[in-house]
Chains A and B, each alone.
Chain A
Amino acid sequence: MILRLAAREIKNHPRFSFFFVLSVLLGLLGLTAIESFKGVVQTNLQSRSKELLGADLELSSRFALEDRHVKIVEQYFEDATHLSSLDIFSMTSFNGASRLIQVRAQENGYPFYGKLLLRSNTQYPGDATPLADNEAWIYPELATQLNIKIGDELPIGEAVFKVVDIVERDIQQSMQTGAIAPRVYLSMDGVKRGELIKFGSTVGYKVGFKFPEGVQIDKDKDLLDRIKKSFDSTVRISTPSSEEDQVGRTLAYLGDFLGLVSLVALFLASVGILYLFQAHLRHKAADFATLHAIGMERGKLVRFMLYHLSLLSMFGTVSSITFGLILMGPLKSLAFQFLPIEIDNLFSFKPFVLVLLVGIASPLFLSIPLILKASYLATRKNAQKVPVLAWAAWPLFFAILSFYVSKSFLVAGAFLGGIIIFLLVLIPLLRLCLNFISKVKVKNINLRHALLRSSRTWAATLSIFLAVFYCSLVFNLIPQLRTNLENEISVANPNVRPSIFLFDVQDDQVEDLKVFSSQSNLPLTNISPMVRARLVSINDEKYEIDTDQKLTREEERNARFRNRGMNLSYASQLNASEKLVEGREFSGVYQDESMESPAEISIEQRFATRLGLNIGDILEFEILGMPIKGKVVNFRSVRWTTFMPNFFIVFQEGILNDAPKTFLATFGQLSSQLKDKLQVDLFKKFPNVSAVDIGRVIERIVV
Chain B
Amino acid sequence: MLFDVNSIAKSFATPKGPLNVLKDINFNVESGESVAIVGRSGSGKSTLLGLLCGLERADMGKMVFDGEDYSTLSEDALTRLRANKIGMIFQQFHLLSHLKAYENVALPLELKGDSNAKETAIELLGEVGLAARIDHFPAQLSGGEQQRVAIARAMAIKPKLILADEPSGSLDESTGEEIMSLLFKMVKDHKTSLLIVTHSQTLAKRCDRILTMENGVLV
Q: Does B bind A?
A: yes
Docked Cα-Cα span, A457 to B103, in Å, equals 16
Residue pair B98, A452 in contact (C-beta under 8 Å):
yes
- Whether a CB of chain B sits under 8 angstroms from the CB of A453 is yes
Name the residue among B98, B99, B103 with the largest chain A CB count within 10 angstroms: B98
Within 8 A of A (CB), among B103-134: 103, 110-111
Residue pair A445, B99 in contact (C-beta under 8 Å):
no
Residue pair A445, B98 in contact (C-beta under 8 Å):
no
Which residues of A have CB within 8 Å of B110? Answer: 445
How many whole Å from B206's CB to the nearest CB in chain A?
32
In this complex, the interface size class of chain B, counting residues with CB under 8 Å from chain A, is under 10
Docked Cα-Cα span, A456 to B111, in Å, equals 20
Residue pair A457, B111 in contact (C-beta under 8 Å):
no
- Indicate with 1 or 0, residue by residue over B70-112, a CB within 8 angstroms of chain A CB atoms: 0000000000000000000000000000110001000000110
Which residues of A have CB within 8 Å of B98? Answer: 452-453, 456-457
Which residues of A have CB within 8 Å of B111? Answer: 445
How many whole Å from B31's CB to the nearest CB in chain A?
31
How many whole Å from B178's CB to the nearest CB in chain A?
25
- Indicate with 1 or 0, residue by residue over A452-487, a CB within 8 angstroms of chain B CB atoms: 110011000000000000000000000000000000
Which residues of B have CB within 8 Å of A456? Answer: 98-99
Docked Cα-Cα span, A457 to B111, in Å, equals 22
Docked Cα-Cα span, A445 to B103, in Å, equals 12
Docked Cα-Cα span, A445 to B107, in Å, equals 10
How many whole Å from B47's CB to the nearest CB in chain A?
27
Docked Cα-Cα span, A456 to B98, in Å, equals 6
Which residues of B have CB within 8 Å of A453? Answer: 98
Majority SS at the chain B contact face? helix
How many whole Å from A645's CB to the nearest CB in chain B?
67
How many whole Å from B170's CB to the nearest CB in chain A?
14
How many whole Å from A446's CB to the nearest CB in chain B?
10
Within 8 A of B (CB), among A424-447: 445
Docked Cα-Cα span, A445 to B108, in Å, equals 11
Docked Cα-Cα span, A456 to B135, in Å, equals 13
How many whole Å from A462's CB to the nearest CB in chain B?
15
Which residues of B have CB within 8 Å of A445? Answer: 110-111
Docked Cα-Cα span, A456 to B103, in Å, equals 13
Docked Cα-Cα span, A452 to B107, in Å, equals 13
- Indicate with 1 or 0, residue by residue over B12-38, a CB within 8 angstroms of chain A CB atoms: 000000000000000000000000000
Which residues of B have CB within 8 Å of A457? Answer: 98
Within 8 A of B (CB), among A393-447: 445
How many whole Å from A449's CB to the nearest CB in chain B?
8
Closest to B99 in A: A452
Closest to B107 in A: A449
Closest to B111 in A: A445
How many whole Å from B109's CB to the nearest CB in chain A?
11
Closest to B137 in A: A456
Docked Cα-Cα span, A452 to B111, in Å, equals 15
Docked Cα-Cα span, A82 to B211, in Å, equals 110
Docked Cα-Cα span, A457 to B98, in Å, equals 7
Docked Cα-Cα span, A397 to B110, in Å, equals 50
How many whole Å from B154's CB to the nearest CB in chain A?
20
Docked Cα-Cα span, A453 to B96, in Å, equals 10
Closest to A448 in B: B110
Closest to A445 in B: B110
Which residues of A have CB within 8 Å of B99? Answer: 452, 456
Which residues of B have CB within 8 Å of A452? Answer: 98-99, 103
How many whole Å from B36's CB to the nearest CB in chain A?
31
- Indicate with 1 or 0, residue by residue over B151-190, a CB within 8 angstroms of chain A CB atoms: 0000000000000000000000000000000000000000
- Indicate with 1 or 0, residue by residue over A250-263, a CB within 8 angstroms of chain B CB atoms: 00000000000000
How many whole Å from A175's CB to the nearest CB in chain B?
59
Which residues of A have CB within 8 Å of B103? Answer: 452
How many whole Å from B12's CB to the nearest CB in chain A?
25
How many whole Å from A695's CB to the nearest CB in chain B?
61
How many whole Å from A650's CB to the nearest CB in chain B?
68
Closest to B110 in A: A445
How many whole Å from B18's CB to the nearest CB in chain A?
30
Docked Cα-Cα span, A205 to B143, in Å, equals 89
Docked Cα-Cα span, A452 to B137, in Å, equals 13
Docked Cα-Cα span, A29 to B99, in Å, equals 41
Within 8 A of B (CB), among A100-154: none
Closest to A438 in B: B98
Docked Cα-Cα span, A453 to B99, in Å, equals 8
Closest to A453 in B: B98
Docked Cα-Cα span, A456 to B104, in Å, equals 14
Docked Cα-Cα span, A452 to B106, in Å, equals 14
Closest to A457 in B: B98
How many whole Å from A450's CB to the nearest CB in chain B?
11
How many whole Å from A444's CB to the nearest CB in chain B?
11
Docked Cα-Cα span, A445 to B110, in Å, equals 7
- Indicate with 1 or 0, residue by residue over A335-367, a CB within 8 angstroms of chain B CB atoms: 000000000000000000000000000000000
Closest to B103 in A: A452
How many whole Å from A671's CB to the nearest CB in chain B?
68
How many whole Å from A441's CB to the nearest CB in chain B?
11
Docked Cα-Cα span, A400 to B103, in Å, equals 48
How many whole Å from B70's CB to the nearest CB in chain A?
27
How many whole Å from B86's CB to the nearest CB in chain A?
21
Within 8 A of B (CB), among A17-72: none
How many whole Å from B164's CB to the nearest CB in chain A?
25
Docked Cα-Cα span, A303 to B98, in Å, equals 33
How many whole Å from A618's CB to the nearest CB in chain B?
72
How many whole Å from A555's CB to the nearest CB in chain B?
54
Docked Cα-Cα span, A457 to B99, in Å, equals 10
Docked Cα-Cα span, A445 to B117, in Å, equals 12
Docked Cα-Cα span, A452 to B104, in Å, equals 12
For the complex of A and B, the 7 pairs showing the least CB-CB separation, nearest first, are A456-B98, A453-B98, A445-B110, A457-B98, A452-B98, A452-B99, A445-B111
Q: A453-B98, A456-B98 are in contact. List 7 more A-B contacts (CB 8 A).
A: A445-B110, A445-B111, A452-B98, A452-B99, A452-B103, A456-B99, A457-B98
9 CB-based A-B contacts, threshold 8 Å? A445-B110, A445-B111, A452-B98, A452-B99, A452-B103, A453-B98, A456-B98, A456-B99, A457-B98
